[in-house]
């Protein structure tokens, strides 16, 4: 996550392009290569699923919150609450894309082009609200 933030959300880069590249990279590289989808399936099955410690669970969000705070300071987005902006961005991009990836039937799982469309639409919606 840190590498994606540092390499994609760079100063001077077009914000729409940067956010789209960042979200695409995380969804297509980080989530499928980790245990994230498996963890989501386990946690969806009930309260008995293990919970990650809060410090681990929130670390990626905090890194992104710091970058969004910097984007707000630089005037690239408008928000008084970077944490809420991260929550909105995550819901509009990561969560919707991961839901499309997280199909029980591999044949019905979303194609890469559909994932990119979901992310692009989410970034556009986010920017309409936060620019």
Read off the pLDDT of residues 43-87 as tens digits, 9 standing for 90 and up: 455 555 455 454 544 588 899 999 999 999 999 999 999 999 999
Q: Give the span between the Cα atoms of 23 and 89, in whole angstroms.
A: 9
Q: Classify each residue of 53-82 as buried b or exposed e, where b means 16 or more C-beta atoms within 10 Å of its C-beta.
A: eeeeeeebeebbbebbbebbeeebbebeeb
CA distance 90 to 60: 11
pLDDT at 52: 47
Question: What's the token pair of residue 111?
Answer: 């194609």
Would you list the DSSP string of 75-120? TSS--S-HHHHHHHHHIIIIIHHHHHH--SSGGGSPPHHHHHHHHH
pLDDT digits (tens, 9 = 90+) for 79-126: 999 999 999 999 999 999 988 876 655 565 678 889 999 999 999 999
The domain ranges of the chain are: 2-130
Q: Among 59, 38, 42, which Cα is nearest to 101's?
A: 38
């Amino acid at each position: 996550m840190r590498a994606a933030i540092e390499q994609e959300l760079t100063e001077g880069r077009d914000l729409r392009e940067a956010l789209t590249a960042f979200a695409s990279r995380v969804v297509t590289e980080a989530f499928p290569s980790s245990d994230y989808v498996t963890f989501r399936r386990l946690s969806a099955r009930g309260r008995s699923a293990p919970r990650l410690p809060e410090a681990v669970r929130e670390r990626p969000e905090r890194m992104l919150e710091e970058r969004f705070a910097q984007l707000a300071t630089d005037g690239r987005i408008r928000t008084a609450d970077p944490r809420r902006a991260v929550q909105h961005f995550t819901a509009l991009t990561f969560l919707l894309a991961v839901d499309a990836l997280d199909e029980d039937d591999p044949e019905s799982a979303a194609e890469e082009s559909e994932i990119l469309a979901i992310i692009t639409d989410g970034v556009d919606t986010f920017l309409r609200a936060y620019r």
